[in-house]
A and B are shown apart, each in its own frame.
Chain A
Amino acid sequence: MDLKALLRHWTRRDQLEAELEEEFQLHVDLRARQLESAGSTPSEARAEARRQFGNRTSLKEESRMLWTTRWIEESAQDFRYALRTLQRSPSFTVAAVLTLALGLGLQTALFTVFNGTVLRPFAVRDPFSLFQVSWQTQRESKFSFTLPEFQSLRQQTQVFSDAAAIEPRFNANVDGQGMLGSAVSDNYFELLGGATILGRPLERGDHDALVLSHQAWRERFASDPRILGRKILVNGHPFEVIGVTTPEFVDPISFKFALFDLQVGFWMNVDSLPLIWDKHPPSVSVLVRVKPELTREQAQSALLAYAAHITSERVVTATLESRATRLDLRPQSIWRFIPLVLVFGLVLVIACANVANMMLARGIARQREVGIRISLGASRARVLRQLLTEGLVISLFAGALGMLFAEVALWGTTNALSSFWAQNAPKYFGSPKIVPFVLDYRAFIFVLIIATLVTLAFAWIPAWQSTRQAASHSIRGEAAGLRPGRLRDLLLAAQIAVCLLLLVCSATLLRSTSRLEGFDPGFNPAGIFRVQASREALPELIRILQRQPWIEPLALSARAPLDGFRALPMNITGKSSEPIAFNLVSPSYFPLLRIPLTKGRAFNESEALAKQPVAIVSESAAQHWWPSQDPIGQIVHLNLTNRPSWIAAPEFSDARVIGVVKDVAHRVSAGRAVVYFPIDPQGKQGGTLLVRGKVDPQTTARLGKQAIGDVFWKFATPGSMPLDPFAPVAAELDMQLAPFHAASAISTVLGILALLLTASGIFGVVSYIVSQRTREIGIRMALGASAFNVAKLVLKQSLKRALFGALAGIPLAYAASALFAAVVPVVNGFDPLAYAAAIGVVLSAAILAAFGPAQRAAHTRPGDTLRAD
């Protein structure tokens, strides 16, 4: 019997029954008439006919059983019964639903983040057939192609139905301010199915035209409705605005950070690039749409063959990287989420344990009802199913409420992310688009599945417990098997253990983060700005800046101070080679950064210009290599073989040490041994300009941007990060610390939630124990125990359980933090203060939670309790 027929019968069952009734009636009437004509009286005939026919009700029921499976009927029954039962005990229902909703909401929120980054495709046409082309030879990985190469790829029509070229992002000077732009082939919008809300997309023949992104139109042009036709200057050249994209349109190859997209502000025709750039021919990324009848593997092998055909070198692999979602759905992207899932899942576990305890307590009260049902003939499985359905109803309600919580949590997260960007990333210009966190059908399905699983977790044990014993025991109200009390204590201990784990984690993180906050790089980065420009731009920029009166002498370095230095294998005679961090700096680098020289002297101009083989080492390096000797005059050997070509490095392999400087840290989690080499202060070797103003930082920034603005944009490098031309160096530190801040915040929230849930769990259990033992308390008081004694008794109960749970939790926390420290090296694995704090918090929570019940117990009147039975 197929599902459609089943459904049809289910919906029409009333009608079907009526029809059956009609048939039965006809049959009985005809039979009666037959009997009449054979000689009986009408009433006799009718009675006989009815008798011959049989039991109509049971026949109808038999037929009805054919239309549906028993299973559906019974489930509907269970559902209705569960609703009624839950309605009768509203406080339990509300408490259970709220508790579970917290846990489910957290998981849903996390899933939605996963959804937004990995599952939900971009809003372009048929996203899963879009791929970015690249291939790898022995020598290099080719992600960019020239325009002729692109044209040739486009003609591979047996594999690709279309291909678009994208010069993905470049910094452009648009009407005086920086904006990210993209140069695309004329079929770009058609390929992606990009629509415009104003005007039209780029088409063939549009040379001096550009299309604005919705965000740029909103933020830079204040949503001017008459933007079409307006001419704006891009790097000094006028372009006409012919369209504005829809807000949902997203370029699949934009900058992506974990949770942000730095979207381009405008699109122009790639053939028009020479108008605004007079340097390199464009090198483009190629986005292709694979023909529907080919699989990705087939297309990739075709690409490999094509690549081997046109390059002279040996092609190793060809890749088509999916551009449907932000992160490809690969095992790696899922791996990244697993730790988060586990941690958030712990809160859910606590919530489940809570509800399980609540259900256990309730189960004892309903023992009688269950016993009666069993003795009336219900099978154990049936009763079990009904109890589980009750749990499922709670879970479903909790799931719905949880989605609401998730929505709120996500809204809060989005706001936090926006303010985080505004605060901590001033060196990037342009506001990012935060990954849209949308509760769509996937989240809905997720909630359903997880609610079902959760039901099994918390409802199974109490249900099993209830249906275990013989009917006779149940009616009498006894319990058998594992005493519910023991089970309850176990659950509570588990809760406390997990709570301790979370608290230890958050305490450890908080302490690590605060220690990192106090990270002292060894110099004061405040007031120092960096100008990162292409090599062609440097000489002119240096010339301009040197003329400014409000500037201290400029410095140049290959790597900006907090950006992290590269490392090269180095050694001194007699010792083995090891990778040591290094930087190339101009003579005024150390004074600008206020790094004192402790021995010897700094570089001078002639050494820098002539590329002399000299070096300055940091104190740690000096200590490491020459612990008891004078470092001045010693020789350091560099191993320059196998050096990747893009790393700026000295060209000599032996350097003489001429000075020692104080240690500075170049990155939050790096060592302090550094070797410095000279760099050409005129900029011919490239590098980053470092500027410190004689005035306050805000004025410096303003004056700096004014001074270099035009020159900077004229020489903007393609494909570079969208950095502010005059970016504060201190911002780098904030960016590096940001993940720790985020992790601390999240784990603190989780810890607090876990604590609240556990406290409520303790409260529930202790209240229950007290209510069970009122008689005993009454007796004690009658025998002379004071209120204080009774209260102490209750508190001791709570404390005992809390201690047990905490003891169980400590090894758990230890294992977890060892794992944690292995992954994140900065976090201290075993932080005794964190443990002590966490244990203290848990125990105090246990006492506080038991306060209410203890008070209630202390106020019992012995007379009442002894009389009640």
Chain B
Amino acid sequence: MLILRTLSRGAPMHGFEIADHIQTLSRDVLRVEEGSLYPALQRMLLKGWISGEWGKTNENRRARYYQLTKAGQRQLNAELEQYTRVSDAIARILSPAH
């Protein structure tokens, strides 16, 4: 979900950019083994949620740039909704009222 959200920001990114982005935004709280990003990306590629294209970085190195597809957008919305629902439920349970 996090990958999809990152990509939904618009510009195509390559693997390192995605990982860096998540790390930065989460203020270094979420630090996963960076390599596990790639199997996840492959999975999403196969499911058609993202599309990948080879391009060149600023330093002229070959990199695969990923972009969100329409199906991916739909999936992201669904997952966000799910997450919101769950976290709301948890919040309600944990709240001191009632």
Contacts and interface: CB of A to CB of B under 8 A. Distances in A.
A30 B16 CA distance: 7
Interface in A47-95: 52-56, 59, 62-63, 66-67
Contact of A54 (B33, B46, B62, B64): B33
B13 interface: no
Contacts of B34: 27, 31, 52-54
B46 A27 contact: no
Contact of B35 (A19, A34, A56): A56
Given A27-B15, A27-B16, A30-B16, A59 B36 contact: yes
A93 B80 CA distance: 60
A19 B54 CA distance: 10
B16 A66 contact: no
Given A1-B46, A52-B34, A53-B34, A19 B16 contact: no
A31 B46 contact: no
B92 interface: no
A534 B16 CA distance: 98
A305 B8 CA distance: 67
Interface string A93-111: 0000000000000000000
B46 A5 contact: yes
A66 B42 contact: yes
B36 A54 contact: yes
A797 to B, nearest CB: 61
B66 to A, nearest CB: 10
Interface in A1-53: 1, 5, 19-20, 22-24, 26-27, 30-31, 34, 52-53
Contacts of A20: 38, 42
Interface residues of A, number: 22
B7 interface: no
A1 B43 CA distance: 10
> Could you say which interface size class chain B belongs to?
10 to 19
B38 A59 contact: yes
B16 A62 contact: no
A67 B39 CA distance: 10
Nearest to A26: B63
B42 A26 contact: no
Contacts of B36: 54, 59
A58 to B, nearest CB: 9
A24 to B, nearest CB: 7
B33 A52 contact: yes
Nearest to A1: B46
Contact of B15 (A26, A34, A63): A26
A66 B40 CA distance: 10
B19 interface: yes
Contacts of B43: 66
Nearest to B32: A54
By secondary structure, the A interface counts as helix
A31 B42 contact: no
B61 interface: yes
A55 B35 contact: yes
A199 to B, nearest CB: 60
Contacts of A30: 16
B16 A22 contact: no
Contacts of B46: 1, 5, 66-67
Nearest to B35: A54
Contact of B39 (A22, A26, A53, A66): A66
Interface in B1-49: 14-16, 19-20, 33-36, 38-39, 42-43, 46
Interface string A490-518: 00000000000000000000000000000
Contacts of B63: 23, 26
B16 A53 contact: no
Contacts of A53: 33-35
Contacts of A66: 39, 42-43, 46
A59 B39 contact: yes
A818 B70 CA distance: 72
A858 B72 CA distance: 79
A542 B16 CA distance: 108
Residue of B14, B39, B63 most packed against chain A (CB within 10 A): B39
Nearest to A25: B61
Contacts of B35: 24, 27, 53-56, 59
A67 B46 CA distance: 8
Contacts of A34: 20
B16 A63 contact: no
A55 B33 CA distance: 9
Interface in B52-71: 57, 61-64
Nearest to B31: A52
Nearest to B36: A54
A852 to B, nearest CB: 60
Contacts of B42: 20, 63, 66-67
A222 to B, nearest CB: 68
B62 A24 contact: no
A4 to B, nearest CB: 12
A23 B61 CA distance: 10
A63 B42 CA distance: 7
Nearest to A6: B46
Nearest to A19: B64
A30 B20 CA distance: 10
Given A63-B39, A66-B39, A23 B15 contact: yes
B64 A23 contact: yes
A635 B75 CA distance: 100
Contacts of B20: 34
A13 to B, nearest CB: 12
A23 B38 contact: yes
B44 to A, nearest CB: 10
A29 to B, nearest CB: 8
A53 to B, nearest CB: 5
Nearest to A29: B61
B61 A26 contact: yes
A62 B19 CA distance: 19
A63 B38 contact: yes
A59 B33 CA distance: 11
Nearest to A59: B35
Contacts of A67: 42, 46
B9 to A, nearest CB: 19
B19 A27 contact: yes
Contacts of A27: 15-16, 19, 34-35, 38
A34 B24 CA distance: 13
A26 B16 contact: yes
B30 to A, nearest CB: 13
Contacts of B19: 27
Interface of A: 1, 5, 19-20, 22-24, 26-27, 30-31, 34, 52-56, 59, 62-63, 66-67
Closest 6 CB pairs of A and B: A54-B35, A54-B33, A62-B39, A30-B16, A53-B35, A59-B35
11 contacts: A5-B46, A19-B64, A23-B63, A26-B62, A27-B15, A27-B19, A31-B16, A53-B35, A54-B33, A59-B39, A66-B39
Given A27-B38, A59-B35, 11 more contacts: A26-B16, A26-B61, A26-B63, A31-B16, A34-B20, A54-B33, A54-B36, A59-B38, A59-B39, A63-B38, A66-B39
